[in-house]
Amino acid sequence: MSEERLIVSVSGVRGKIGTTLTAEVAFEFGAAFGTYLGAGRKVALGRDSRPSGSMIQNAVVAGLLSCGVDVVSLGIVTTPGVALMTRLLEADGGIIITASHNPHPYNGIKFLQPSGVALRAADAAKLKSLWESKKFATQQGLDVAVETVNNRTHPMHIDAVCAVTDVTGISSRRYKVVLDSINGAGCVVSPMLLSKLGCEVVHINGEPNGQFAHTPEPIEENLTDLCNAVRKHKADVGFAQDPDADRLVVVDENGKFVGEEYTLAMVVAFVLQKRKGDVAVNLSTSRMVDDLAGEAGVQIFRSPTGEANVVELMEKTGCIFGGEGNGGVIDPRVVPVRDSLVGMAAILQYMSDTGKTVSQLIAEIPAYHLMKTKLPCSPEAAAKVTELTREEFAGDDGAKFNDEDGLRIDFADRWLSVRGSNTEPIMRIFAEAPTAAAAAELVARVKTIADRVVGG
């Protein structure tokens, strides 16, 4: 199985710099998006702090300009920041140059609708077809477009978050916060927001140079320095972002990693205390949110993985809030994408309103054991593992199968999810149950199948 494959999906384009993702490929996708939009349109474009970002951005911009599409360059900004500015600038589309939580060899290109949401599946497929055809609508002479610069993303983003936040209430608490921005796109705007909320900020990995201080995915094994810093500085909370700052993970006042699923659960608990309305999440999000919704008398709707799918479901069902269990919260009043700044403000206000610590708030949320595993795997092998998993569990009592997003199997008190990733050459196996042993047993049954398929 080779990993040397450009990944093109509803989540955009991701590849390894210099091999599958080159300046030529980036130019072609810029030209494809320009052809998709049409000459005379406008795109807002930003990037995260990866060293390869400038090269990829310049190539994408060249492709857009060659097809007569004007570009407003936003600089190094967060993914939710690009989404917000795409809407505020009334652009016809947006682009963020990022590979999110993928490690250094990778970069990517994510395409946005005018609303700031990622392209729908049908539009992403059309864009891919244009790229494959290489039939780009390039312009001649004075018909090529122009690039301008806009440096207002950070203050506009902060204003949007503060407009839905009790700034005075949080400020009165004078919280001490340790922030790990992993030298990514959140380095500048995040401490600005926290300072406006009256927080004392201890910022680690706070230079937006793309030199990631640890493996970028914000999971427990990568955040030991943050946990230690919270204890050292006797902070009230620790926050960790991923490189494009759309995901948020929390460390409690004792320096304990509380799990990425708890970000969304805490914010859902806070939101449902303030407002009455349904919530949308993806199919691999913890049952904690179902219990919280049940207590509040509202519904949880579930979509396939991918924030565009969650947002589409939110719009369809009229949900007031949404998110994904990977640390992504979506408040459409700010911007209809995952936003770590929204998450930080909401958690701080939850603490402020209740006078409780993070650990006390966590203790109030119904607890499950969610085990997340990923394995190197080609899309073809992932499909085979999924097929064999269905056969493996077909005889289990009470098993209910859902094929919307890989395969999800629900039982009375536990569930299992098996799917190929849209952003990496891996497959993900999630299992949640009342006990860690029960979750591990579900995962082990799938791993046995995967070892047989991939190894064979």
Give pLDDT tens digits for 226-262.
Answer: 999 999 999 999 999 999 999 999 999 999 999 899 9
Beta bridge partners of 369: 433
pLDDT interval class at 422 (50, 70, 90): confident
Backbone CA torsion sign across 327, 328, 331, 335: positive
Backbone CA torsion sign across 268, 269, 273, 274: negative
C-alpha angle with apex 425: 423 to 426, nearest 5 degrees? 95
Active site residue 100: yes
| Helices within 176-260 (DSSP H only) | 189-196, 224-232
pLDDT digits (tens, 9 = 90+) for 142-193: 999 999 999 999 999 999 999 999 999 999 999 999 999 999 999 999 999 9
pLDDT digits (tens, 9 = 90+) for 33-89: 999 999 999 999 999 999 999 999 999 999 999 999 999 999 999 999 999 999 999
**Which residue bears the tokens 């990693």?**
257
* pLDDT > 70? residue 3: no
* pLDDT > 70? residue 438: yes
User: Is-contact 154 50, C-beta < 8 A?
Assistant: no
* Average pLDDT of the segment spanning 326-345: 97
| Helices within 89-152 (DSSP H only) | 121-133
Which of 100, 284, 340, 421 is the catalytic position?
A: 100
**Which residue bears the tokens 């997003």?**
405
Say how many C-beta atoms besides its own lie within 10 A of residue 88's C-beta.
Answer: 17
* pLDDT > 50? residue 270: yes
Query: Over the Cα atoms of the chain, what is R_g?
Result: 22
| Neighbour-count burial of 162, counting CB atoms closer than 10 A to its CB (0-12 exposed, 13-18 middle, 19+ buried) | middle
* Nearest C-alpha neighbor of 446 from the set 396, 369, 370, 373: 373
Domains of the chain (ranges, CATH numbers): 7-151 (3.40.120.10), 156-363 (3.40.120.10), 369-455 (3.30.310.50)
pLDDT interval class at 1 (50, 70, 90): very low
